[in-house]
Structure 1
Amino acid sequence: MFFTYLRRELRRRRKAALVVASGLALGIALVIVVNSVSSGMGKAQDKVLESLYGLGTDMTVTKAAPASDGSQQAPRFRFDAQNGEEEQSSDRVVVQGFETLADSTIAKVGDQDGVSDAVGGLSLQVLKVNGNFTPGQFQQGGGGGGGDGDGPPQGGEVRGGGADFDVDSYSVYGTDVTEPALGPLTSSKITSGRTFTSSETNAKVVIADSAYAKEKSLKVGSTVTIKGTKFEVIGIATADSGDSAANLYIPLKQAQTLSDSKDKVTTIYVQATDSQQIDSVKSEIQKNISGTTVTTSADLADTVSGSLSTASDLATSVGKWLSIAVLVAAFLVAGLLTSSAVSRRVREFGTLKALGWKSGRVTRQVVGEAMVNGLLGGALGIALGLAGAYVVTAISPTLQAQLGGGGGGGRTGGGGLGGGPARQASSTTLDVALTAPVSLTTVALAVALAVTGGLIAGAFGGWRASRLRPADALRRVE
């Protein structure tokens, strides 16, 4: 009887049921879209951070370089200008960004409570000058005055000559090939060739970033010369975010040899045993290993600005509050419409009570109708929400994330996750495509909201119906 009457009433009042369901659907759809976009923002930010310190890294340990007093000399290049047109080349390999730490610090960090793994890396910058001198040609003047035989004849002059040199600057990162699961190279995927093997700790092999390889026409099997040492390209890596940690990756020992930094590293990448205890692990390292700077991914996230940061703030603040406001309004409208519908059914409910229906049965009937409206609204809301999330993912609007050198990240020398790999600029802008993934949790939330909306609407209507008396129906009889 309950379901028969319920079906008949819903069919008879289809327009009213559709209005209530539509109001709930809009609120639920907005909640789904906002939650999905917020989740996409979080994934985009994680992707940006992983491009700086690599997948699986929870924090880095560095030693900030002291403030320069002006005494540090710039790299000097010396050439023999008497070699005529012979091509000349010179490389300078310098440690980038940080003061070096001893290799033994890696073991100390790894022994701290809460540390699952620790691996070192060496960030280098290579300045390569390549070109040739062209000697000038002596031309004797018309005066013809002779000399004494110990120099050019009097009255002549040297014309032409000069120098033509190219300056190339690129970044090289020395990575521990025995720990492939940790460090900046994990933010890239090998798209050609292979990665390092654990036996290549001192091999003359190199992995090139895909953008740099394209610029220099490098491929697997090509050779790269760094400071007179030839390295074979064994793989091409493509950064997930489009911005690589370095142009070239070589085994750590080779990087230490090239830069005269034996048993030295610039950055120690740390993985915690429990992601919920990162702050305590950071404190433990700072307390037990003096002179180091520990930076977590949360510290670096504070330095991310640009449209990604702005959109994330809007999604987490304005978007969520807007969705809550719309949802509350939808609940109230559904409740008021249900209560109003009950008021228009006074004669019907009064007659049912006169025929023996108790107030509880009438209330259950109204609540049942409201629950069906709520579930219908939930189904429509989920469909609209999924459609909205699909549109956002299909369009994939591009957001920019600017990674600055200030704040906790310390990208230019203050220590931080972004400072380990060689970064030449004080800030880098990355383009990240926004997606809106819908999780099962979000769908479950939508169902819960639909049920809640139905209960609220049913509570309004049920309360109104429970107050009706058979005499109210007789007053409406014409």
Structure 2
Amino acid sequence: MFFTYLRRELRRRRKAALVVASGLALGIALVIVVSSVSSGMEKAQGKVLQSLYGLGTDMTVTKAAAPPTSTGQRPRFNFDANDNGSDKEQSSDRVMVQGFQTLAASTVSKVDSQHGVADSVGGLSLQVIRVNGQFTRGQFQQNGNGGGNRGGRQGGQQPPQGRVEGGGADFDVNNYSVYGTDVTKPALGPLTSSKITSGRTFTTSETNTEVVVADTSYAKEKKLSVGGTVTVKGVKFKVIGIATPDSGDAAANLYMPLQQAQTLAGAKDKVTTIYVKASDSQQISSVKSAIQKNISGTTVTTSADLANTVSGSLSTASDLASNVGKWLSIAVLVAAFLVAGLLTSSAVSRRVREFGTLKALGWKSGRVTRQVVGEAIVNGLVGGVLGIALGLAGAYAVTEISPSLQAQVGGSGGGGGQGGFGGPGRRVASKALDVTLTAPVSLSTIAGAVALAVAGGLIAGAFGGWRASRLRPADALRRVE
């Protein structure tokens, strides 16, 4: 009887039911679109952060660089200027630790022993300045009248008269970054944010082998290929692989085993960055506090800290989605629920005689209320189906359009240096990354939409049911619909 009457009433009041369902559908669709776009923002931001610290890394431990002093040693380059009449190309490399002060390699073990740390690995960030070129001797050009005795000078000849033409020095300065990575733990560090597209990566036995992995952009610029060699400070390294970063920007131009990097920089048993993986992602804050408390002089930067430094159109869009979009969704939902409730209550007012008759025939107030609530819930479910369909269509449209957003990451508040969270002095501190926005819809979002639809129906039914329960048969029968 309940379902028969329900079906008949919904069919008889199709237009009113469609209005209520449509209002709820718009609110639910907006919630789905905003929620999916917010998820897309988080995914895009995760891409940016992943390109900085690599997969599996939850935080880094560094020591802020000391402020520069006027007495600090500047890079010096020594060249020969032999007077042997030959012009020979000369070169000199200066290898410097970049971005942060160095930490003792034993600090890695201290970090690894902290509660909540699953694994940690050290790395050394270097900057190489290479100056190469040659000196060219000038040619002395004698004047035509520069010889012989002049002015009555006796007893000798005047020195030849003329000038030196040509000659000089032509030197080129090349600046590139090198990162020493611990090859015994390949699952951590910035190289994990790149994919080996040619050749291979390091093996765990190559702890002190003269091999490198080159970033794809640098390899293309310098025409490096797998099997070729690159010289750093007079040492020839074999290129074993080409790495392509997932987000378009690499941590360094060249990667080499940590011990080799320490030898080149004269920084034995030193690291600049410690990459840390937490055993539980929910305890990252407590792990950060423990490291800062137990290992003095260090700065711990988490992915959440770095996320606050992301700027550009990605940050703007994320703020709009999380703030404006959230409040707009809430406002539309509240409006939709109120309209649904008012329309249901209004429909009850127009059905006074009907409900009065049903009460006169023996229907209890509770049964009338359940009938009204049942109709409202069905309207809500219909609105939910329509809202989910509209929301999925909106999310699909955003994904298909795939708008491109820019993200620029500055150094974190306590990170020091120019490398920010990543450590190896990444160029992304001054270079914008392009990321594509998508709008993934999760099952939890759809479940939430269904819950909103039911809630909308219940709210609307509560308005109408309360109104219907207050009707008295004698008063209802005296009114004409």
TM-score (norm 1): 0.93
Letter in 2 for 1:99: Q
Change (3 A) 1:444 1:153: farther
Structure 2 residue 448 is the aligned partner of structure 1 residue 445 = yes
Q: Distance in 1 between matches of 2:333 and 2:8?
A: 29
Give 1:110's match in structure 2, choosing from 109, 112, 125: 112
Give 1:258's match in structure 2, choosing from 249, 257, 264: 264
Q: Distance in 2 between matches of 1:122 and 1:159?
A: 47
- 2:304 corresponds in structure 1 to 298
- 2:154 corresponds in structure 1 to none
Structure 2 residue 184 is the aligned partner of structure 1 residue 184 = no
- 1:232 corresponds in structure 2 to 238
- 2:155 corresponds in structure 1 to none
Per-residue deviation, 1:324: 0.5
Per-residue deviation, 1:140: 0.9
Per-residue deviation, 1:406: 5.7
- 1:124 corresponds in structure 2 to 126
- 1:359 corresponds in structure 2 to 365
Alignment deviations for residues 341-377 of structure 1 (CA, whole Å, 9 cap, x no partner): 1111222222222333222222211111111110011
Deviates more, 1:78-87 or 1:234-243: 78-87
Alignment deviations for residues 263-300 of structure 1 (CA, whole Å, 9 cap, x no partner): 11111111122222222222222222222222222222
CA contact (8 A) 2:134 2:169 kept: yes
Per-residue deviation, 1:243: 1.4
Change (3 A) 1:477 1:318: closer
Query: Residue 98 of structure 1: SS of its match in structure 2?
Result: coil
Question: Structure 2: 5+ residue runs without aligned partners?
Answer: 150-157
- 2:153 corresponds in structure 1 to none
Query: What fraction of aligned residue pairs are identical, expressed as a percent?
Result: 81
Alignment deviations for residues 388-409 of structure 1 (CA, whole Å, 9 cap, x no partner): 1112222222222222236234
Structure 2 residue 167 is the aligned partner of structure 1 residue 161 = yes
Matches within 5 A, 1:384-403: 384-403=390-409
Letter in 2 for 1:71: T
The count of aligned residue pairs is 471
Query: Residue 99 of structure 1: SS of its match in structure 2?
Result: coil
- 1:379 corresponds in structure 2 to 385
Structure 2 residue 433 is the aligned partner of structure 1 residue 434 = no
Deviates more, 1:352-361 or 1:67-76: 352-361
CA contact (8 A) 2:25 2:387 kept: yes
Per-residue deviation, 1:425: 7.4
Alignment deviations for residues 218-237 of structure 1 (CA, whole Å, 9 cap, x no partner): 23223222122222222221
Alignment deviations for residues 205-226 of structure 1 (CA, whole Å, 9 cap, x no partner): 2111122222223232232221
Deviates more, 1:464-473 or 1:120-129: 464-473
Deviates more, 1:138-147 or 1:294-303: 138-147
Structure 2 residue 278 is the aligned partner of structure 1 residue 276 = no
Query: Residue 90 of structure 1: SS of its match in structure 2?
Result: strand
Letter in 2 for 1:469: R
Alignment deviations for residues 183-225 of structure 1 (CA, whole Å, 9 cap, x no partner): 1111112222221110111112211112222222323223222
Question: Structure 1: 5+ residue runs without aligned partners?
Answer: none
Matches within 5 A, 1:304-315: 304-315=310-321
- The RMSD of aligned alpha carbons is 2.1
Q: Distance in 1 between matches of 2:325 and 2:410?
A: 26
- 2:6 corresponds in structure 1 to 6
Change (3 A) 1:22 1:356: same
Q: Distance in 2 between matches of 1:78 and 1:267?
A: 31
TM-score (norm 2): 0.93
Matches within 5 A, 1:22-37: 22-37=22-37
Q: Distance in 1 between matches of 2:77 and 2:408?
A: 35
Give 1:244's match in structure 2, choosing from 247, 250, 255: 250
Structure 2 residue 227 is the aligned partner of structure 1 residue 221 = yes
CA contact (8 A) 1:146 1:153 kept: no
Give 2:460's match in structure 1, choosing from 457, 460, 466: 457
Deviates more, 1:167-176 or 1:291-300: 291-300
Query: Residue 343 of structure 1: SS of its match in structure 2?
Result: helix
Change (3 A) 1:252 1:161: same
CA contact (8 A) 1:94 1:126 kept: yes
